[in-house]
Amino acid sequence: MRGTARSTLSSSWAASGLSGPRSPHSLRAVADVGSTMRLTALGAALTVLAGLSTPVPASAAPLDEPPTLTVAVRYVDVDGRPASGPAMTSFELRGADPDGVGSDGPWSGSSTSVFGDTMTWTGLRPGAFTVRASAPSWGAAWFGDTPLASQAQVIVLSPGEDDRVEIELRPGAVVSGLVTRGGSVDAWLQDPDSGTWESMGRVSNVIRDDDTYTLESLPAGDYVLRAEDSTDWNRVFSDRYWKDSPTLAGATTVRLGAGSTTSGIDLRLRPWQTVSDRIAGSDRYATAVEVSRSAFTDPVPVVYLVSGANWPDALSAGPAAAVGDGALLLTDPRTLPGVVEDEIRRLSPERIVVVGSPLSVSSAVEARAQTLAPDVERLGGRDRYETSRLVVEDAFAGRPVENVFLATGTNFPDALAVGPVAGIDGDPVVLVDGARDRLDEPTRELATGLSPLGIQVIGSAAAVSDGILRELETEETSTDVRRVAGGDRIATSVAVNEANRGDPLNDRAFLARSDGFADALGAIAAASALRVRTYLTDDDCVRPAVFDSARREGIDRFTLLGGSGTLSPSVAALTRCS
């Protein structure tokens, strides 16, 4: 090896958690090659500089024998033969889940570039890690010899362990072409196993006389190239994928080999334009089925069955279904509608979860469900709050979560938009009695026992009291506690979506009527699977704040939920409210 850099982590950083909840995003933006990132751990920041050694105070050390990790890079050519590497290499160390799955975790970091091809970290806290190596002109890779963070092999370090791992880097690919002046270009690599995408490189705000862009150091694989307007706050152009597609579904993939050069990937942005379509059935049950059909083309492992006559049970059940890769359907409380039964048969679940007591969903519906799946279980408590806890405990116990969302159990509007946000990120929604000054003990134990990084209180103080917010802020000092609210239900839906950034490749949102609950609630699991958010709207026009928020997020397609009697033709025409 040409050289080794050594970094000793101070105990304040090493003791801060290092392995934290994993957000199950299918899209992960990877740092630019050669960049220096800041390590953050639950709000505390530390820059780890290669070659800098900071003594670990014995009194503060989390363990008497902290482990050591050495990472060496093996440079090979396109045929896998040993090759001479560059003078400098960059390394990034991340906390991970010990179950063999890589993690974004509560922090991520990269050392500065180091001379040589080896890096050693000392003073670590025992736990699980993933590590990435990169260098200019070489395709970055994680330990496990994969460019994908989601496929990174996890390293579990025990107290006092001195481990050494090796990462292989091959020459990176180069892509070039033309792009509309001022546009930004991203290269998204497809995970061949899951079909999801991770960003491998970005060129921002291209301003050149010849309008050319170049992306370098790309790992081999199948890519889509996307151009977007660099101005987030007031986009002039809609996104464009190669070859001239407005959507990811219509994009043409580009296969890049190690060390290859591909030119002519031209991306011309088009003026910003919003369009709409509609999903509707003959009633709320049929509409929920149509939404399900749009999202789930294959069988699912679980279906959650909730009352379509009342709203509370679906708020927690939607994200629970999503985290289990399942669907949510509405049912008449007394009898299972034929259209819903047909959809359950199509989805062919191994498990059906009937949510709520027999007063919410009758025993007759449960009995019919038992003919449709081998495992049928009812999760119902004495009231909506206990039912919510049972659903969350069943779906999220033992799972890492990023946020817990607290929503009032006494009214539905404020929480309608949070279901898809929670479902996309694999997080729970817990119903609370918002009129109380403090959380009841079972709800508090559940919310804090999930060890989230954040707790979001949804809605104004009229929905969830300031007393509950102050209690959490005072007692959960290591958790990011915040209220997310707007002036009314529609403004709150905007605030929820803006507080929780969505899928960067998504250009679509659902529109649901703000004074009805069925269509929005019935779409939670499907929206999560499609990775689309939900905005609330008036029944005859769309507010400018909704358009502005969607535009900032790159959303130019709206899907209306419900028929014209629910959302009028004026909404379908995307008429702005005056």
DSSP 282-338: SSHHHHHHHHHHHH--S--SEEEEEESS-SHHHHHHHHHHHHTT-EEEEE-SSS--H
Distances (CA, A) of 28 to 96, 443, 500, 510: 14, 32, 15, 23
> pLDDT at position 517, please?
87
Residue 222 Cα to chain centre, angstroms: 22
> pLDDT at position 316, please?
95
CB 95 within 8 A of CB 20: yes
pLDDT tens per residue across all 578 residues of the chain: 455 565 544 333 333 333 333 333 333 333 333 332 323 332 333 333 333 333 333 344 444 789 999 999 999 999 999 999 999 999 999 887 654 444 444 344 446 668 999 999 988 889 899 999 999 999 999 999 999 999 999 999 999 999 999 999 999 999 999 999 889 999 999 999 989 999 999 999 888 888 999 999 999 999 999 999 877 667 889 999 999 999 999 999 999 999 999 999 999 999 999 999 999 999 999 999 999 999 999 999 999 999 999 888 889 999 999 999 999 999 999 999 999 999 999 999 999 999 999 999 999 999 999 999 999 999 999 999 999 999 999 999 989 899 999 999 988 777 789 999 999 999 999 999 999 999 999 999 999 999 999 999 999 999 999 999 999 999 998 899 999 999 999 999 999 999 998 888 999 999 999 998 889 999 999 999 999 999 999 999 999 999 999 999 999 999 999 999 999 999 999 999 98
> Hey, what amino acid is at 224?
V
Domain ranges of the chain: 4-169, 173-271, 280-498+520-525
CATH class entry, domain 4-169: mainly beta
- Identify how many contiguous H helices and E strands the chain contains and give both numbers: 14, 33
Collapsing DSSP to helix, strand or coil, 415 comes out as helix
Q: Which CATH architecture has domain 173-271?
A: Sandwich (2.60)
Those residues whose C-beta lies under 8 Å from the C-beta of residue 147, and which sit 6 or more positions away, are: 139, 140, 141, 189, 198, 200, 219, 220, 221
Place of tokens 């050149």: 208
Question: Which DSSP symbol is given to 175?
Answer: E
Residue 283 Cα to chain centre, angstroms: 31
Q: DSSP string covering 481-537, please?
A: EEEE--SSHHHHHHHHHHHS---TT--EEEEEETT--HHHHHTHHHHHHHT-EEEEE
User: Distance between CA 516 and CA 545 in Å, rounded?
Assistant: 20
Cross-strand bridge partners of residue 74: 168
Structure tokens at 224: 């889509």
Q: Do domains 4-169 and 173-271 have the same CATH topology?
A: yes
Q: What is the dihedral of CA 443, 448, 450, 455, to 10 degrees?
A: 100
User: Distance between CA 41 and CA 527 in Å, rounded?
Assistant: 31
> pLDDT at position 232, please?
66
Collapsing DSSP to helix, strand or coil, 368 comes out as helix
